[in-house]
Structure 1
């Protein structure tokens, strides 16, 4: 048994959860500004953009599942960690407009340029 696995899993999970809390805060601030502005924009994504979103979402979930599955010393907690990751990534990719617009699609455009 590797003694660093539980420590690293704690660090990874903490980063994921804290990032999700940051996303929720940013989305809350955006919604508050939208209420005071009186105008709201609606964005409809193309199939290409949504395909990119689904692909990276699937890769992120698969990576976390593999990381959790191969880690030792966390037996008995794997299902909870998988559920936490699933909730965090689902919120980030499908419910956080700030993440999609300011982070994800900005990175995708940058990668496509290079």
Structure 2
């Protein structure tokens, strides 16, 4: 079979070198930031109230807590009082484990 008909899997998706990986994902905070950008491409959105303001918990960088505030495009603020915590790893193979995110990233 022709190689051009079936390009290799890594043709456009080459894994990074170990040096690049360790600099890009130095700790769980960097891994969580990467996951947040992938999960919320347009910014955080609370699954419970729809709020778009949140902060990351210091002790668990993969968990975000809704501030209970929704700010629209005109800058008008609506308070929801939500405070719902959302995990970046919910619904993934990483959910419910106690391994650091960096270990999961390295394994992937």
TM range (shorter): under 0.3
Give the structure-2-normalised TM-score: 0.26
More strand by share: 2
Give the structure with higher Rg (CA).
2
More helix by share: 1
Taking CA–CA contacts closer than 8 Å with sequence separation of 6 or more, which of the two structures ends up with the larger relative contact order? 1
Give the structure-1-normalised TM-score: 0.25
